[in-house]
């Protein structure tokens, strides 16, 4: 049987005992200095959030940002959907095929199955598929709902960020962060904790939105994958590579395309420029039948109709920008050095 969930209070005791509020965000690559001017403004739920860009290295970060206690509130509600899965069943099927592709790409670096840790494992789809190929699997998750979904599927999950010494030295072959590193409060600290747990030659796989991609440039503060305030950092190929190098990882492969993320990012970005409620289609695709969006049938129908017309151009844009190294998503693999 999988171990019980580690409670959030065990992971963030000081944060949960303190008052909720906002705090200053800083660049994780350069020494702390004066806060740079705003780079992007974005509105979420009636709140305005500001992203700033470090003038020295180009790292983009949210500042001010919710503190460790308050940020948990932004992962509640319908963020993870309202049913047994995050999305409706007919969306989960293609998502399964995308997860299989990640399994084949990440597992292809190894001659035989080993032990994998998926940080931010969600409902555990990737880990279930890895286990079916003989891998020993472990997951972490910030929120209880997806963690419990994964546990019901037999995936062992701990709640909260990875802790120092959580796994023995050299115990892991592969650590994955699929659309997760941008959510971490201190990605550099997390990477420092991971490194001793990986064996020599072990790998870290990362996917994250590309702040220097054409999609981000076109949509700016209304970029679908901006997702404030949950995305605390926005990476470019340069800042991601530098972060990983400084943590002791050598770049092995860098891709600029996610067929799971990029075409839909273009579709929803264009829809958000139309006279429709924000993220109408995305809200409908989630397994949240009681939401107000799903009861607005006319808006959903119009969004779906527009999306069908937009999709061919969105797919072309995704492929073309990836070929030019300006895709909406980075997928990178790094090897532990030393």
Q: What is the DSSP string of 164-232?
A: TTSS-TT-EEEEEEET-GGG-S-HHHHHHHHHHHEEEEEEEEEEEEBTTSHHHHHHGGG-TTT-TTT--
Q: What percentage of the chain exceeds 70 in pLDDT?
A: 91
**Is 17 among the domain residues?**
yes
Q: Write down the number of H helices and E strands in the chain.
A: 12, 13
Query: What sign results for the dihedral spanned by CA atoms 230, 233, 236, 238?
Result: negative
According to the model, what pLDDT value does residue 16 have? 35
According to the model, what pLDDT value does residue 1 have? 40
Nearest to 203 by CA among 98, 116, 99, 104: 116
Q: What count of residues does the chain have? A: 338
Beta strands 233-234; 249-255: pairing state = unpaired
pLDDT > 50? residue 163 = yes
**Is 1 among the domain residues?**
no
Q: Extract the tokens encoding 247.
A: 């943590």
In the three-class reduction of DSSP (H, G, I as helix; E, B as strand; rest coil), residue 207 is classed as: strand
According to the model, what pLDDT value does residue 107 have? 97
pLDDT > 60? residue 170 = yes
Confidence of residue 280 (pLDDT cuts 50, 70, 90): confident
Question: CA-to-CA distance for 244 and 252, rounded, in angstroms?
Answer: 11
Q: Looking at mean pLDDT, say which of 9-18, 74-83, 255-264, 275-284 comes out highest.
A: 255-264
275, 281, 283, 287 alpha-carbon torsion, rounded to 10°: 160
Q: How many domains does the chain have?
A: 1
Q: What is the CATH number of the domain that holds 221?
A: 3.40.50.150
Question: CA-to-CA distance for 102 and 186, rounded, in angstroms?
Answer: 25
The pLDDT of 52-65, averaged and rounded, is: 96
Give the tens place of pLDDT for each residue, 104-148. Answer: 999 999 999 999 999 999 999 999 999 999 999 999 998 888 999
**Is 195 among the domain residues?**
yes
Asked whether the bond before 64 is cis by omega within 30 degrees of 0, the reply is: yes
Exposure of 113 by Cβ count < 10 A (0-12 exposed, 13-18 middle, 19+ buried)? middle
The pLDDT of 313-330, averaged and rounded, is: 98
According to the model, what pLDDT value does residue 44 have? 85
18, 159, 166, 95 alpha-carbon torsion, rounded to 10°: -140
**Is 2 among the domain residues?**
no
pTM: 0.91
Q: What percentage of the chain exceeds 90 in pLDDT?
A: 75
pLDDT > 50? residue 270 = yes
**Is 3 among the domain residues?**
no
**Is 270 among the domain residues?**
yes
Mean pLDDT (the chain) is 90
Question: CA-to-CA distance for 104 and 202, rounded, in angstroms?
Answer: 17
Which helix (H) or strand (E) segment holds residue 251: the answer is strand 249-255
pLDDT > 90? residue 9 = no
The answer to whether the beta carbons of residues 39 and 60 sit under 8 Å apart is yes
Exposure of 263 by Cβ count < 10 A (0-12 exposed, 13-18 middle, 19+ buried)? buried
According to the model, what pLDDT value does residue 2 have? 41
Give the tens place of pLDDT for each residue, 180-234. Answer: 999 999 999 999 999 999 999 999 999 999 999 999 999 999 999 999 999 999 9
Question: CA-to-CA distance for 208 and 239, rounded, in angstroms?
Answer: 12
Neighbour-count burial for 206-227, b at 16+ CB within 10 Å, e otherwise = bbbbbbbbbbbebbebbbbbbb
Range of the domain at 111: 8-336
């Amino acid at each position: 049987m999988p171990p019980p969930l580690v409670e959030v209070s065990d992971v963030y005791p000081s944060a949960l005992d303190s008052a909720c509020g906002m705090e200053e965000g800083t660049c994780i690559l350069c020494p702390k200095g004066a806060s740079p001017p705003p780079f992007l403004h974005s509105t979420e739920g009636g709140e305005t959030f500001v992203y700033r860009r470090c003038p020295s290295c180009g790292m983009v970060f949210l500042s001010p940002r919710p503190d460790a206690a308050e940020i948990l509130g932004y992962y509640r509600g319908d963020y993870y959907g309202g049913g047994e899965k995050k999305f409706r069943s007919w969306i989960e099927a293609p998502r399964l095929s995308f997860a299989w592709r990640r399994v084949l790409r990440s597992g292809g670096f190894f001659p035989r199955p080993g032990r994998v840790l998926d940080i931010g494992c969600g409902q555990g789809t990737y880990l279930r598929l890895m286990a079916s190929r003989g891998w020993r699997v472990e997951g972490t998750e910030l929120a209880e709902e997806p963690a419990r979904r994964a546990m019901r599927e037999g995936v062992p999950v701990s709640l909260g960020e990875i802790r120092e010494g959580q796994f023995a030295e050299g115990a892991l072959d592969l650590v994955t962060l699929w659309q997760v590193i941008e959510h971490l409060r201190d990605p550099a600290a997390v990477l420092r904790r991971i490194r001793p747990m990986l064996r020599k030659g072990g790998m870290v796989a990362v996917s994250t939105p590309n702040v220097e991609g054409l999609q981000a440039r076109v949509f700016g503060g209304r970029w679908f994958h901006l997702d404030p305030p949950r995305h605390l950092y926005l990476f470019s190929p340069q800042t991601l590579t530098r972060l990983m190098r400084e943590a002791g990882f050598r770049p092995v492969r860098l891709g600029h395309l996610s067929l799971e993320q990029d075409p839909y990012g273009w579709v929803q970005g264009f829809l958000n420029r139309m006279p429709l409620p924000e993220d109408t289609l995305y809200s409908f695709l989630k397994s949240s039948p009681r939401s107000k969006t799903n009861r607005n049938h006319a808006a959903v129908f119009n969004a779906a109709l527009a999306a069908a017309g937009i999709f061919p151009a969105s797919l072309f844009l995704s492929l073309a920008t990836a070929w030019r190294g300006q895709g909406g998503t980075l997928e990178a693999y790094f090897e532990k050095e030393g």
